[in-house]
Amino acid sequence: MHTTYKATYINASGRQYSAMVFISSVTLTLRYSDENNEEKDVYWLAEKIQSMEEGPVDIRLHYLNMEGKTEQLVIRDMELLAEVKKKFRGYKFIGGIYHHTIGKTRNKILLLFGIVLALIVATYFWFMPWLGERVAMNFSKEYEIELGESMYSSTLNAYKVDTAKTHILNEFYKELHFQVDYPISITVVEATEVNAFAIPGGHIIVHDAILEGMKTPEELAALLGHEASHIAKRHSLRSLFRSLARQMFISLLFGNDSGILSYIANNADALKGLEYSRSLESDADNNGMRMMANSGLNTEGMMRLMEMLQKETVGKEPAAFMSTHPVFKDRIENIRKEMVKYPASSQDNPKLKKLFHDLYEEW
């Protein structure tokens, strides 16, 4: 037996009737007596109820009948109202999902916060790196070299330069005759980290620890070709700006108004921990091997360099080169495939060999 409630039914013509209300899971049944005292039933499908209007003294349900006209039910019985909301809580006129989630003030705030947070995350991980790379690619070469000089000076403050090895390594690089459209200059510094990194504009910093494990001139040529390729293809500048663009975004969020150039100059130390994507690393490997082949060097030196680095970095403190120049299985496989393009060279360069041996006589 259904519980019945009392309410006022207003038909499409505006006539009002006192009605008994029966509620099922999908309908409201309105029973009233007309002007001729005849009892009639009106059936409202819950899905056809258009809205619920809450007034100061009553609640009005608006219903669209089969003729497309609006009928109303005026509710003053709070028990009836509670039962309507309970039975029809999933329907649009009550609010449905909207009413129970977004419709509540707290959840509106949470939704707004979530949207803002999503925008911040998207800006940090995608838009700012994209913008940073666009800025980098629009730098003039002259400005890039000037910026690199400033960063190079700041970077050297943290190191002691090995002058003798620096001179030999620069002579070694000149003898390679790599075609790079930047003024490449190499500096060897004393450091226990197995690392080497390129500065935008032409400088390459080589830690002496990375030189210790090299057995052939081709391995050293591969290292220098790889780093020179980062400079030639602007990988260093692009990756640096991608990284710093994110930091700049965080600074802007907290009201730091430092200019981008001063910000970069003050964060030159980030260069030694600069991360490249796998595609940029492989691009530098491939270009390095191409330059080696053009100079008559055996490109197998690139593979031996990677194999040496895997061994040499075990137990080193810290293995910086492996974090900034990750050797993935796919990358090594790429080197192996790329080597097929270049036949093994039989050329011999006595001057390269002498400079390579001179380098190790300085230890």
- DSSP designation for 13: T
- For residues 302 and 292, the answer to whether their CB atoms sit within 8 Å is yes
DSSP state of 162: -
Residue 79 has pLDDT above 50, yes or no: yes
Task: State yes or no: pLDDT of 261 exceeds 70.
Answer: no
pLDDT of residue 14: 94
Q: What is the DSSP string of 220-276?
A: HHHHHHHHHHHHHTTHHHHHHHHHHHHHHHHHHHTT----HHHHHHHTGGGGGG---
Helix (H) or strand (E) holding 20: strand 16-23
Closest among 223, 217, 206 to 302, alpha carbons compared: 223
What is the pLDDT, as a whole number, of residue 213?
Answer: 83
Greater model confidence, 312 or 231: 231
Q: What is the mean pLDDT of residues 279-295?
A: 92
- Is 286's pLDDT higher than 70? yes
Position 277 pLDDT exceeds 50: yes
Percent of the chain predicted with pLDDT > 70 = 84
Q: How far apart are CA 108 and CA 67, in angstroms?
A: 37
- pTM of structure: 0.62
Over residues 108-136, the pLDDT tens digits come to 787 888 888 888 888 877 788 788 778 77
Strand partners, 16: 10
37-55 average pLDDT score: 92
The hierarchical CATH code for the domain 4-93 is 2.30.29.30
> What distance, in Å, lies between the first and last C-alpha atoms of the chain?
101
Lowest mean pLDDT of 220-224, 289-293, 310-314, name the range. 310-314
Report pLDDT for 256: 57
d(CA 160, CA 153): 12
Is 344 a residue whose pLDDT tops 90?
Answer: no
Within the chain, which residue ranges are assigned CATH 2.30.29.30? 4-93
Selected residue with higher pLDDT from 251 and 163: 163
List Cα–Cα distances, 313 to 105, 301, 318, 321, 325, in angstroms.
Answer: 56, 18, 8, 8, 12
> Which has the closest alpha carbon to 104: 117, 95, 113, 114?
95
What pLDDT shows up at residue 113? 85
CA distances from 228 to 165, 221, 236 (A): 18, 10, 10
- Checking if the pLDDT of 287 tops 80, the result is yes
Cβ–Cβ under 8 Å, residues 326 and 264: no
Q: How far apart are CA 34 and CA 236, in angstroms?
A: 87
